[in-house]
Structure 1
Amino acid sequence: MLPSMAPATLPADVDVLIVGGGINGCGIARDLAGRGVRVLLCEQHDLAAHTSSASTKLIHGGLRYLEYGELGLVRKALAEREVLLRIAPHVIEPLRLVMPHDAGMRPMWMIRLGLWLYDHLARRELLPASQALDLQLHPAGAALQPQWRQAFAYSDGWVDDARLVVLNALDAAQRGATVLTHTRCEQLQRLPQHWRARLRGTDGRLHEVRARVVVNAAGPWAEAFLQGQAGLRPGCHLRLVRGSHIVVPRLPQHETAYLLQATDRRVLFAIPYEERYTLIGTTDVEHHGDPGQAIADTQEIAYLCREASRYLRHPVHPDDVVWHYSGVRPLLDDGADASAVTRDYRLEWDVEPGAPLLTVWGGKLTTYRTLALEAAQRLAPHLGLGKVADWTRRVALPGGDFDDLIGPSATPMQARQRFTEHLQQRYPWLPTAVAKRWARSYGTLALKWLRDTQGPADLGREVAPGLFEAELRHLVRQEWARSADDVLWRRSKLGLHLDATARARVAAWFQT
């Protein structure tokens, strides 16, 4: 196996130690590294190994949160949708959702009011406004049972969640941060001017580091980390809620993403996924035990199939499920029902006595960037940063700098399409499916291994259909991949498209 991306010498002193390699930890690392802060991030498993790769893949305001009066959270998230579309046009794209109207769930006036607020709470330039639909006339009705006659359409965004995490980590590393995966923070000792941390890798090696500030971004482990490794009493209590999703073969005529109102007044999503599949989720179930061992149970799978089948013309059965995944959401415990618990975040600042510690409670994919900015603002006085400008708002994530290569485009979506065409024209021998996937997953990063190539032979061995050694080398050397699962189920979803033999060849490549 090729050596993974790791610094030759680990730093003994840093400004900030970040514990947790999910979206919030990597977002904070990127923000701070871009300000010249000496950052070390450690993650006990792979980047985005758990919650941050187990989402519904939405960049959204959270339409249903309006029902709980969370106007501030929705406004903040709505404003972020288009920011993220602009800085990550390769891994984020617009998504039009159709919501069939069930009069027994919510009255028409409530839906209209909610969508009006959704359209107007934040400035919107890239995404179209909501509209009412007649499902007997609109193509979206083709995949639904005939009794669903009215619907509403609105816009949000789709994201490759695990790649969003990795791209933030990659940008942080390119700006000077040290990123250590498969490295656990075993112990923290608080001293008057700094923290002393003991970090241990899976190889058993121990590394001690001094940090002026520690950021606890351990997600569902945040509370346990404070009590265990730091020996502190948490100021908040987490509600661990499991969200499970199922993937089934693409349902007939399913070309539209749907928001479906379940009989328990929750909402589900049914989204076209990976060209050949339909993604359905999610559940809200109290989770007990290790967050890293979250697995959908038979009741959750049956629930998703049953509720989706109320709407879809082609019923969904548990036997149809080709893959399922679950993640544990670390929600602030406010005593509400699991589906109603706030998805907003809270930053807890602990400065007494001794060196400061910042804990991230809660959060969601859509607001990770504003969370990171707020964290930088909290840390600024202790790090001597001065004025904290919002630099990440305008700087593309790695691979998203399409305009630098192909010139300005009217929209980020057009930029990605033009880049895909550029790849196909510049490298006509590249399989169309591979060119599209690379444009969507890596953007301009793909040029790092494509530059100067004249044909498929220059990409190395095709280890599995559409997966060449050049891409695998990049994933290992630049994106911290250590195993076939890291590649097949997080940095890509090729695991869905490859058979067992092909997946085994990828695993064997990592052992050579």
Structure 2
Amino acid sequence: MSSPQTYDLVVVGGGINGAGIARDAAGRGLSVLLCEADDLASHTSSASTKLIHGGLRYLEQYEFKLVAKALSEREVLLKAAPHIIWPMRFILPHQKHLRPAWMIRTGLFLYDHLGGRQTLAGSHGVKFQDHPSGAPLKPEFSKGFVYSDAWVQDARLVVLNCMDAANRGATILTRTRCESARRNADGWEVTLKTTDGETISAKARGLANAAGPWAVRFLDDVATMDHRYALRLIKGSHIVVPKLFDHEYAYIFQQPDGRIVFAIPYEQDFTLIGTTDVEHEGAPGKVAIEEDEIAYLCESANRYFEQSIGPDDVVWSYSGVRPLLDDQEDNASEITRDYRIQLDTDGAPLLNVFGGKLTTFRRLAEDAVDQIAPKLGNRGKAWTGSGHPLPGGEETKPQHLFESLRASHPFIPLGMANRMVFNYGTRVRDIVADAKSLDDLGEHFGADLYAAEVDYLCEHEWARTAEDIVWRRSKLGLRLTADEIERLAAYLRERAYA
């Protein structure tokens, strides 16, 4: 066992909330250690609908504060990470028996104005006979509404926050489980264990519990503390099918049960459909889509699209568990998506994070560090709100970066250049470096994945396995065969990355 190192703050959990807290705290001058039992974003944070949005449907639940907060954050994040977050226009076909037009117009008016919209286009009505979004819809849909939100590469958002935290001095340990956390008069004694069997001891003046679906279990089994908190675990599942339309608009479909389902352009050749809301009773890490969820999502799309889909059309699916505060709401879809931060100062500071949503992670992190930093003797001011792009986001217009890459590396195919710019931003230059041909990028694993990119992901983004690379750092698993993925796995083993 290595001798303990002392940190100002140990953060448990490598999802979006833990990553955001680590970044914010490190930027205020605190010494930070973040530990994650698996890969970064390996659970809830990579299983989202991949939207930065206010949550239009939350207006019906009178969650005006949550929607305003999320819409305000949408503007901040668009500026901080333009290479992985970009505007998207959404089409809402109108069905008068579900919601009257006046109600939708009112909701969209609020949605346009609650968050101080600055850069995105406003909402308006649309007639489908005159609009490209009408082509794939059934003929009974004649009109609807269009509004703006944003798309995000969700797992990459987590990784970039950790990269920025590391750049500011934080220590990021993946595949390192927090085995125990004991409070004493001077702070916390933390015992960590890696998947390789190494035990690491650390001391911390403060502890942040950002374990997501495991947050309550952390208090029960790791910190062994009494508390009054309860989480409801809500499973959300998505399916991916071959693309159902050829334009860049996304759809938001109202369902007879009151829920909404999105159909979103995905990775050029696919359509992403989701999500469900189902109570999850099992272990948070063991979650998979059920047949009835696949049927529900197919039926949800088939109510609107002319082209019918079924389970056989699904090329990929994913599921995640949202850890929502138990507010005693009977309907899983109605449970608040807002977060709660609880600071326990009955001894060394313990910060507990419950709930939350992807869009508001930065505000959550800011609120969390605002609370715990003064208890650690730190008076640093909040800093992540503007003017500090995430790694790769220094070029505010990715299209300019794309043109520059094409000019300096004309041998890179258009599709590959586009994917790399909108995954890595300015960091693409670190990957392609001074290569003069595709051969200079090293071994080719299939699709447009080369060793230079794999090495970069392992050396700078904590990737260790083929799954990390093809499903979280990228979505190339949709384009690689099983044999190609195994060849990638063998390369990682040979290089001792895995």
**What TM-score, normalized by structure 2, do the two folds share?**
0.97
1:147 has 2:140 as partner = yes
Contact 1:380–1:388 (CA under 8 A) maintained in structure 2:
no
263, 269, 276: which one aligns with 2:269? 276
Q: What are the equivalent positions in structure 2 for 1:57-456 lying under 5 Å apart?
A: 57-253=50-246, 255-336=248-329, 337-352=331-346, 354-402=347-395, 412=396, 415-456=397-438
Alpha-carbon deviation of 1:137? Answer: 1.9
In structure 2, give the amino acid aligned to 1:496: L
Which residue of structure 2 aligns with residue 20 of structure 1? 13
Given that residues 90 and 252 in structure 2 are in contact (C-alpha distance below 8 angstroms), is that contact kept between their aligned partners in structure 1? yes
Equivalent residue, structure 1, for 2:482: 500
Letter in 2 for 1:376: V
Instruction: Report the 3-state secondary structure (helix = DSSP H, G, I; strand = E; otherwise coil) of the residue aligned with 1:444.
Output: helix
Assess if the C-alpha contact under 8 Å between 2:28 and 2:380 holds in 1.
no
Within 1, Cα distance between the matches of 2:184 and 2:250? 52
Deviation (angstroms), 1:161 = 0.1
Unaligned ranges ≥5, structure 2:
none
- The aligned counterpart of 1:49 is 42
User: Within 1, Cα distance between the matches of 2:86 and 2:344?
Assistant: 38
**TM superposition shift of 1:36:** 1.3
Does residue 457 (structure 1) correspond to residue 450 (structure 2)? The answer is no
Q: Indicate the larger mover: 427-436 or 299-308.
A: 427-436
Counterpart Cα distance in 2 of 1:11 and 1:250:
52
Cα distance, 1:449 vs structure 2? 2.7
Distance 2:445 2:244 in 1: 30
In the TM superposition, what is the alpha-carbon distance from 1:334 to its structure 2 partner? 0.8
Q: Is the 8 A contact 1:60 1:77 kept in 2?
A: yes
Q: Could you say what secondary structure the match of 1:389 adopts?
A: coil
Distance 1:151 1:10 in 2: 63
Whether 2:31 is the aligned partner of 1:38: answer yes
Taking the aligned partners of 1:392 and 1:438, their CA distance within structure 2 comes to 26
C-alpha displacement at 1:236, in angstroms?
2.1
Contact 1:250-1:272 at 8 Å conserved across structures: yes
Give the fraction of aligned pairs with identical amino acids, expressed as a percent. Answer: 54
**Matched residues in 2 for 1:453 and 1:302: separation?**
47
**Which residue is 2:465 aligned to?**
483
Report deviation, 1:465. Answer: 2.8
Per mean C-alpha deviation after superposition, the further-off stretch among 287-296 and 240-249 is 287-296
How far did residue 393 of structure 1 move? 2.5
Distance (whole Å) between structure 2 residues aligned to residue 465 and residue 286 of structure 1: 37
CA deviations 1:262-305 (Å, max 9, x no partner) are 11000000001000000000000000111111101000000000
Cα distance in 1 for partners of 2:469, 2:89 equals: 29
Mapped partners of 1:93, 1:106: distance in 2: 29
CA contact (8 A) 1:464 1:505 kept: no
Rounded Cα–Cα distance in structure 1 between residues aligned with 2:447 and 2:153? 21
Shift of 1:255: 4.0
Q: CA deviation at 1:155?
A: 0.2
Selected match of 1:474 from 450, 456, 467: 456
Aligned partners of 2:74 and 2:169: how far apart in 1? 28
CA RMSD between the two structures: 1.2
Are the counterparts in 2 of residues 42 and 185 from structure 1 also a CA contact under 8 Å?
Answer: yes
Aligned residue pairs total: 492
Shift of 1:455: 2.2
Tell me how far apart the structure 2 counterparts of residues 181 and 131 of structure 1 sit (CA, whole Å): 45
Over residues 409-467 of structure 1, what are the superposed CA-to-partner deviations in whole Å (9 max), with x where a residue is unaligned?
Answer: xxx4xx11111011001111112221111100001111113222222232222222311
In 2, the alpha carbon distance for the partners of 1:285 and 1:445 equals: 39
